[in-house]
A = this chain, B = another copy of it.
Amino acid sequence: MLVVMQEGATESQVERVIEKLVIMGFTVHKSTGVTHTVLGGVGPQEDFDPLEFEVLDGVKECHRIVSPYKLANKRFKPNGTEITVRGVRIGGPEVVVMAGPCSIENRDQIEISAEIVAKAGAKGIRGGAFKPRSSPYSFQGLGEEGLKMIRTAADRHGLFVVSEVMDRSQIGLLSEYSEILQVGARNMQNFNLLRELGTIRRPILLKRGIAATIEELLLSAEYIMMGGNYDVILCERGIRTFETATRNTFDVSAIPVLHGLTHLPVAADPSHGVGKRNLVAPMARAAVAAGADVLLMEMHHDPDRALSDGAQSLFPEQFAELMVQLRAIAQAVGRSL
């Protein structure tokens, strides 16, 4: 930890900071420069708020040196994490596609969906059973009935299932029906939920919150991993910015940034990233070109009648065409799909 004192900080101000550092268990090195005194602290504890020091008199700024996440850190596993789900290796040379409708609506819909996505080359099917939405007046999902439907459809077509867990109480149920549990953007910092997910043996697809920094996404992964569950897939799905032409701003650069910081596989969800169907294909291509390990996409056999997220769901033929393009791009970056 580094504390930079202000120009002209008094000796007693410096001593006050040293005292606080020592109380917190740090060994302190003091370096007196022409303009600024810098205090370097080495300690057992790197979990503190730099603002604690920045509000002390005479302090200019404070920098944490050690990354606040350890298990998610690339150094922890420099060769990367591979997660095998139903024989499919996630985080390996192949780009893995998971697709399907936003919500599970009925048996026919999910059967048709499974057929379409499997045929086009996807390895997993997505579909939500619990859909609490921004407006309390919207469709809220089929619950366990829906999960049974998606499981049956997936099995018939050799797909694995990814479905969202909204609450600790649903973990058992979700684990019964799906191979991968998804944590939605709004739950990225639901620490009670994360902690419990650390104790199960199912891979977790963790979505970045719309206002979460990349570091915060990694800290949330750390919460899960601390419990012993190291199979976490990180997922970029758009951040909130001033631009209103798209629902969110899909932060494609998060993909290579994450690859530089962590060993965990990186997914991208262009459907939520942009919110409009005609933008999903170019953004899916961009994500693969930028190095995504996994693509998560919404496809609906009849989007105009979808009960949720119809606007961002691809038509079946769009999806099939897109898969062909993605395959070519995957090859261009040295991968397969």
Bin the interface of chain A by size: 35 or more
CA distance A133 to B331 in the complex (A): 41
* Given known A-B contacts A134-B216, A253-B274, A75 and B222 have beta carbons under 8 A apart: no
State A289–B126 Cα separation when bound (angstroms): 25
* A33 to B43 alpha-carbon distance, docked (Å): 10
Copies of the protein in its oligomer: 4
Looking at the complex, which of A86-94, A175-183, A277-285 is the stretch in contact with chain B? A277-285
What residues of chain B lie closer than 8 Å to A325, measured between beta carbons?
A: 332-333
> Is residue A294 contacting chain B, with contact meaning CB distance below 8 A?
no
A244–B244 touching, CB < 8 Å: yes
| Residues 6-65 of A at the B interface (beta carbon under 8 Å) | 6-8, 20, 29, 31, 33-36, 38, 40, 42, 45, 47, 49, 51-52, 54-56, 60-61, 63, 65
Question: Which chain B residues border A251 with CB–CB below 8 Å?
Answer: 241, 243, 249
- Binding-face segment, A111-119, A143-151, A152-160, A186-194: A186-194
Q: A319 near B: Cβ within 8 Å?
A: no
Q: Is A172 an interface residue (CB 8 A)?
A: no
Give bound CA distance, A7 to B168, whole Å. Answer: 36
Partner of A65, one of B4, B29, B226, B279: B4
- Chain B hits for A286, CB < 8 A: 252, 286-287, 289-290
* Chain B neighbourhood of A7, CB < 8 A: 66, 75
CB pair A4–B250 under 8 Å, yes or no, is no
**Do A329 and B55 have beta carbons less than 8 Å apart?**
no
- Report which of B55, B243, B285 forms a contact with A277, defined as CB distance below 8 A: B55
A–B Cβ pairs within 8 angstroms, 18 of them? A4-B63, A6-B75, A8-B75, A54-B311, A61-B63, A213-B243, A241-B241, A241-B242, A243-B254, A244-B244, A246-B253, A253-B274, A255-B282, A256-B279, A286-B289, A325-B332, A325-B333, A329-B333
